[in-house]
Structure 1
């Protein structure tokens, strides 16, 4: 079989010759008891840079020893891209949320042999799920592999935005020392109302991590948590997003992107937020209206916006979020730490091993299977597609 793997570029200085840490902590299970990926074997050392082109997710030896063809590229945008050309006779395509190969309906229909799309990570909205269902293409992802990584990133961004760390660091780095400039937008998190839109694996983990800061915790989710969890965290449940945003000082977005959540945080919803609130978005960029966010930061309706997700990805160089005031944006990095890469590379191999051996893939990994939403997909997504407009990624220039 032919496997097309689309990964982000290598470091500009070349692959590392050594790493900051020699080993990674050993983790056997996720917080809900689910085991980490269990491939029969791996051909990489955990802690290596696996998510870039030269890292190859540690798959080449495994695939070529089994007689398969592996094509790895970072060139993914436009009809003339390497990925688009190689897709037409590919059996399997692997992509990451951090450098997504947008599998639109047109692209899926250009690949008659395509059987499966694997997300090396979590979040498969870069695939037109409806088209995948219509053409019997399975969609799978490595559920939970980097959920804790993302929740740590959320906590980092909440603290850095509320304390205005970015300004203080810039002053120190530039040789300055003006204390008034450094603290004129800096506050304590203690006592604030923190809310998550969706309380799945990432959202719930973020709430748990914020509880020791003595904050008031809120959540909205279409699947209400158990009474035990609500009592444990002293959680306030909201039956609408509007109810949650009206009372929260910080709103963190942790819902999957699908047609129901696309453009959810538009001018209208942001106007209903508590004045001066902060938004942290590590879910998907397209959940927030880019112009509405920038305008709210200009007017003071929002005090800050931070996240690592954009639409499209990579973001065009002139994307308004690059230059809007009071932002803490990063490239899409929250879920691709070296720790997370070891898990999602192993999970990708586990999925491939099962597929080649005609064994069932874990139900938790399934998004689309047998022409319908399945597993995690049935719980988290709705039918349809949110890939439209992805061709704008061509406007990013290195």
Structure 2
């Protein structure tokens, strides 16, 4: 790369400390507002930038990459998930893609446990009654939820976040089970006291709680579909803090409305911010606006990783968080 400062375009507002550091290091174009860019605005940015810093709200597909300018050589994604970027096409066009793995592990695991507790203990229902001023006092049979301790937790995807969820769940006295593309090493299984299921179907039919912690790939799209939802116990709940596309949302809504499963806690949705209105109406569902990684510390660390990736690239070295098509 030439010695001049790289032209970096950031698609969304980032923490102030991150933006200030970028301004010091690069010829950076920052946002004044925080609305998601249109496809046309994103295409224009890809024409004028050496480096693009997108987020999950920016879908960078084959068509957009085909129109990218000759200057664009790095897409430094602000976030760990990269299913919104056509990594294979980017590499074919000589554009590197990086992400920010590992930063949000603990934060997302915290939110997974919070959703479990919220659904099992019916916390939002109690909160709604209190906020409406309708509470008439304690009653022996009011707002009866379930006991978390002793329940069987089935984790779908035992990577960094799945393992962090398992560690927390053990502290609550839950029994840990998991399904993964590859079985964990024996010492990790032993430390987590985790039982491996090669068959996802068999695991689903025996668990009290299912936690979705796998990435969205072609192989995991609608992995939890209508058939698999019917395998779950009527008393079971499902929690998703990973990617909405892993669950067939319409099938989930039908299962919840029919009482085929007891509840759901969702931080992510199949159509991003467009949520099935029938899902929103259900009292046994807790919905959050993609808050899993929303901590000040996490957002700053994500920005620091982006900066390191760009700076390493500018110094003609391999960025530490380079994403390869073979990793997907």
Q: Mean Cα displacement is larger for which, 260-269 or 84-93?
A: 84-93
> Which of 271, 278, 286 is matched with 2:245 structurally?
286
Question: Following superposition of structure 1 onto structure 2, how do residues 1-398 of structure 1 map, counting pairs within 5 Å?
Answer: 1-7=6-12, 50-51=14-15, 55=16, 58-60=18-20, 62-63=22-23, 65-66=24-25, 68-72=27-31, 74-76=34-36, 78-80=38-40, 82-97=41-56, 100-113=57-70, 114-178=72-136, 179=138, 183-313=142-272, 315-316=273-274, 320-362=278-320, 365-368=321-324, 372-373=325-326, 378=327, 381=328
**SS of equivalent to 1:283:** coil
Asked whether the 8 Å contact 2:247–2:270 carries over to 1, the reply is no
Q: Is the 8 A contact 2:105 2:160 kept in 1?
A: yes
- Show structure 1 runs of 5+ residues with no match: 9-49, 382-398
Gaps of 5+ in 2: 1-5
Shift of 1:231: 1.9
Higher RCO (C-alpha 8 Å, min separation 6): 1
Aligned residues of 1:147 and 1:202 also touching (Cα < 8 A): yes
Tell whether the 8 Å contact from 1:60 to 1:70 is kept in structure 2 after alignment.
no
**For this pair of structures, how many residues does the alignment match?**
320
CA distance in 2: counterparts of 1:181 and 1:125, whole angstroms:
48
TM-score normalized with structure 1 length = 0.75
SS in 1 for 2:265: strand
Mark the CA change 1:66 to 1:164 in structure 2 (over 3 Å): closer, same or farther: closer
Give the alignment's TM-score, normalised by structure 2: 0.90
Structure 1 residue 320: deviation in Å? 4.7
Asked if 1 retains the 8 angstrom alpha-carbon contact of 2:76 and 2:310, the reply is: no
Shift of 1:319: 5.1
CA contact (8 A) 1:123 1:256 kept: yes
Alpha-carbon shift at residue 67 of structure 1 (Å): 5.6
The alpha carbon displacement at 1:197 in A equals: 0.3
> Measured at CA, do residues 317 and 211 of structure 1 come closer, stay the same or move farther in structure 2, by a change above 3 Å?
closer
In 2, are the aligned partners of 1:193 and 1:215 still within 8 Å (CA)? yes
